[in-house]
Amino acid sequence: MTTAATAPCVGAQTRQTDRDRESLAKGGGRRRSHDARVRLFFTLAGLFSVLVMALIVLFLFAEGAGLFVTVNPIDFIFGKLWYPTYDPPDFGILPLIMGSVAVTIISSVIAVPLGLGAALYLAEVAGNRMREIVKPAVELLASLPSVVLGFVGMVVIAPMLQEWLDIPSGLNIFNASMMLALMAIPTITSISEDALHSVPRELKEASLALGATRWETLTKVTIPGALSGMGTATILGMSRAMGETMVVLMVAGGASQIPTSIFDSVRPLPSTIAAEMGETPVDSEHYLALFAIGIVLFFITLGFNLVAAYISNRFQQKGAATL
């Protein structure tokens, strides 16, 4: 009797187990199908970005390379005269390159110490209340449109510099560098702060437990551990200053000359393209020269990104033993 009564229960349990397995199999199949669709979507999104970038670069090179049929690339890069509307025209962009380099270097001298200092303060010194005030302020600085900063530099800063320093024009390298520094500080601060927070907490606690002061822990443990991210932040901030258009167009002065002072007016590469492209006949030498400037600017910013990638890999912390 016991065996006869137990048999139907065993059969029912077996059928229930089979149904559970089938349900789990169906659920696993649906999840795998969903994961595959999500993976395909992100793959297509990534490939779309690569395709758009490739098409932009192809168009840039297709338009700009036509200039070098009639103009020697060496004369183009190292020529000291930029008079594209003269007869015959002069297509020398060395003054434009020197103008870009000047505003980038001086803005970096201003932005890097302030950006890294702000990141160290927010990550290691500031209390929670102060961090809630300072961090949003830095992030809001990043949201300011470049045309607004350019307007402030042109209307407010330029007359002040001209009056206080007794210089011919307040639209110069120093003015443009200050505005570019304001744009680069949020980038440097944000990335550097993330890098400082990524340093393992146990390394800092171990340093303090061994008797190191807070300053010694910061300089010997925290900063070396975050050096990769901080270096990348610096290079990316400089890259943004190099590629910025509106600010330098409005406050750099617009003179295509090799600068000899920080108070000279210059015309960097991006502002030249923005100022002249709208008035240039399509397929003229001047038109092709502006695209060739874009090629030079492309290689300069590519160099900044390669340096940032090298620093990121070279100084990347792979464990406590690297400190």
Question: Which residues neighbour 207 within 8 Å (Cβ) at sequence distance 6 or greater?
Answer: 216, 217, 220, 221
pLDDT digits (tens, 9 = 90+) for 272-282: 999 898 888 88
Q: What percent of the chain has a predicted confidence (pLDDT) above 70?
A: 88
3-class DSSP state of 318 = coil
pLDDT digits (tens, 9 = 90+) for 147-191: 999 999 999 999 999 999 889 889 999 999 999 999 999 989 999
Q: Is the pLDDT of residue 255 over 80?
A: yes
pLDDT digits (tens, 9 = 90+) for 22-63: 665 565 567 777 788 889 899 998 899 899 999 999 999 999
Mean pLDDT over 197-223 rounds to: 87
pLDDT digits (tens, 9 = 90+) for 307-320: 888 877 776 665 55
Q: Is the pLDDT of residue 1 over 50?
A: no
Mean pLDDT of the residues in the chain: 85
CA distances from 240 to 50, 136, 143 (A): 21, 21, 14
**DSSP secondary structure string for all residues of 255-286:** --S--SSTTS-B--HHHHHHHHGGGS-TTSHH
Mean pLDDT over 86-104 rounds to: 92
Looking at residue 19, its amino acid is R
Return the higher-pLDDT residue of 269 and 13. 269
Instruction: Supply the pLDDT for residue 127.
Output: 81
